[in-house]
Amino acid sequence: MKTRNSNQKIKAFAKYIRMSPHKVRRVISKIRGRSYEQALMILEFMPYHACNPISQLLSSAASNASHNFGLNKTNLFISKIQVDKGSFLKRLQPRAQGRGYPIHKPTCHISIVMEITSE
């Protein structure tokens, strides 16, 4: 177990989430800078599909803090959370007269950095 440091950063990443980054950014803007417990409460009651992968990632980051550094989950807050655009899944939709219409199914990468509250 590592020693406690006041500016310790706990990180977690989720890659290739099958969702538009624009839709995920709408949700993460609400939880940026919040404590771990507040963020879970907000995500639980928001009506968006993007809340599920974000709450899983948030729980993963808190578990990383608990297991790897021996920190209490209640003392954590989200210092940085961002969404980056991933690759597209490229599909074709059949159209009139034998043409193929391209369909782009977007993916995104979510990264979260949590820190200890200074109390």
Please choose, from the candidates 60, 58, 54, 59, the residue with its C-alpha nearest in 3D space to the C-alpha of residue 21: 54
Q: β-strand 100-116 against 10-17: which pairing, if any?
A: antiparallel
Q: What is the residue extent of each domain of the chain? A: 10-116
Task: Give pLDDT tens digits along the chain (119 positions).
Answer: 455 566 789 999 999 999 999 999 999 999 999 999 999 999 999 999 999 999 999 999 999 999 988 888 888 999 999 999 999 999 999 999 999 999 999 999 999 999 988 76
Region 10-116: CATH code = 3.90.470.10
Q: Where are the beta strands (DSSP E) in 56-99?
A: 76-94
